Chain A
């Protein structure tokens, strides 16, 4: 399977956007080689601004640029874009409903060796709680590019969550997606897995293995966490009666919470949430960490078994 890091896809797509639209401006905070905005900086030096190691000021400057008519893409690591600059994102960008896309890389555990201080596992929760924010977590390179182009068309603030390591491509390069519409990648009636980011591909693997045992599960790429596709969630709740969410994020406040909030109100069914269990990350190789925190194909399978057992008990 071909691999590409979502941050690499972002860097490439940003250059394309730059060629298409003159008012696109990019900011970074001394991490342009890691966030991959360096390509844009090289191609359009007059439209790139390095804020230095000053994420709060970067977001503040983005607000000013947007208020003056620019379409702004601002990047840093998720920890510093969503974390350090949270209040600037909230008050300068979202409260004023400005057209700034915060494109944060190195989200989640797969930051790896840098350790817990750099592994944002609560950024989806933070960004999702803010009014006006759109939150997108792409699963691979092609969908990252599609999301970026969609976000360009969509007025208002957004948070695009990207990762560090190369991840398998699950879509072809010409894939298209619609912000706010989940993508059903596989259909089965026993349960449904609603995943985002790197957990989508793992969910597909798990679904294939489950099918060998005779268990048929739906797999959805819920790339947009906000506004979430509640229609699809209610439909899946009704047809399967058992939902599993999977995300490289805390089980508190992320995709799992969003899904549970909707089902609780509209169609109460069993919802299991696979994610990081209210813990900080730590140093280690990305794959070791995913294993350690249980973000694996096997753990998805275990959780589906558990769900089906509970579902049977209810009946």
Chain B
């Protein structure tokens, strides 16, 4: 389903709501984990998993499938919520997040959970995996596309730029890197801790095609992904302006919510807000 219309937009809006609710529910249950950066990526992930990518939960190893690498691995909850909704495992399993023996590790583990394409968590490494996968796709003439999601703080890792250089060098037009540009990292605002700006100009200087969007507007995300497919000879960077903690007023744009899970009452408040939003927007 690759058309951008009322129907697909409605579906994505619905999926984003479900993903956000499940992020809150699983983190409320686990008692630890990364809330802010999971919530900021919910709309992007809804578009990737329910509009853009060619993946089938019943064939997680299909050779021709599109690949997604969560380079900002700490946002595992948003990946798990998308995978569960996509049918890779029962939604109830989300409740085992971060518990001993669970396939839902604190950071994604490809050897423990089907649907996870790369074991990440150490920032900067995921984008290199994505470059390698895109290279293999080219070698095999396989036609699949590779997507990776990075944090804006993550861009401070030198390794990211080594990968960015390599992707352009090998003309990986089957690769799209999305930057969750929420403006926050752990120690505060990205511009105060270690300014990575200008992000778009940096990618452009490394010979990437660059598209800047609002990362909470599915229509813009979908249009950017669509455009990326038509760009030849260059990888695409989609710089998505987002709000950390998006969807829950008391978490929004707060560094404190980076690595904090909601307590019971906070989770309840957050769920109420997300539901009220869905209701107001007629998403149900």
Chain A residues engaging chain B, CB cutoff 8 angstroms: 28, 30-34, 38, 50-54, 56-57, 79-80, 83-84, 112-118, 282-285, 288-289, 292
Contacts and interface: CB of A to CB of B under 8 A. Distances in A.
B220 interface: no
A57 B162 CA distance: 14
Contact of B187 (A50, A54, A113): A50
A45 B184 CA distance: 20
A283 B194 contact: no
B32 interface: yes
Contact of A288 (B33, B73, B100, B106): B100
B110 to A, nearest CB: 11
Nearest to A37: B187
Contacts of A54: 156-158, 194
B105 A282 contact: yes
Interface stretch (B116-124, B199-207, B238-246): B116-124
B231 interface: no
Given A30-B186, A33-B186, A118-B107, A84 B121 contact: no
B102 A283 contact: yes
A117 B120 contact: yes
A118 B186 contact: no
Nearest to A80: B122
Give the contact-size bracket for chain B.
Answer: 20 to 34
A117 B194 contact: no
Contacts of A34: 186
B284 interface: no
Given A54-B156, A284-B99, A84 B122 contact: yes
B77 interface: no
Contacts of A51: 156, 194
Given A52-B156, A53-B156, A118-B106, A283 B100 contact: yes
B253 interface: no
A116 to B, nearest CB: 7
Per CB-CB distance, the 4 closest pairs between chain A and chain B, nearest first, are A52-B194, A284-B100, A117-B121, A115-B106
Interface in B90-120: 98-102, 104-107, 109, 119-120
Nearest to A56: B158
B180 interface: no
B202 to A, nearest CB: 14
A114 B156 contact: no
Contact of B122 (A30, A38, A52, A117): A117
A31 B156 contact: no
Contacts of B119: 117
Q: Which of B30, B99, B157, B185 has the most CB of A within 10 A?
A: B157
B107 A30 contact: no
A56 B104 CA distance: 29
B193 interface: yes
A30 B153 contact: yes
A114 B107 CA distance: 6
A33 B187 contact: yes
Given A113-B98, A117-B73, A50 B122 contact: no
B29 interface: no
A287 B178 CA distance: 38
Q: Which of B33, B123, B196 has the most CB of A within 10 A?
A: B123
A287 to B, nearest CB: 10
Given A113-B32, A117-B120, A117-B121, A53 B99 contact: no
Contacts of B124: 53
A114 B121 contact: yes
B267 to A, nearest CB: 17
Contacts of A289: 100
Contacts of A33: 186-187
B158 A50 contact: no
A116 B109 contact: yes
B77 to A, nearest CB: 12
A114 to B, nearest CB: 4
A113 B158 contact: no
Interface string B131-169: 000000000000000000000011011100000000000
A80 B186 CA distance: 15
A63 to B, nearest CB: 15
A281 to B, nearest CB: 10
Nearest to A289: B100
A178 B276 CA distance: 62
B100 A292 contact: yes
A178 B124 CA distance: 39
B158 A116 contact: no
Given A113-B30, A117-B119, A53 B109 contact: no
Contacts of B121: 114-115, 117-118
B197 to A, nearest CB: 12
Nearest to A84: B122
A252 B84 CA distance: 38
A115 B186 contact: no
A53 B185 contact: yes
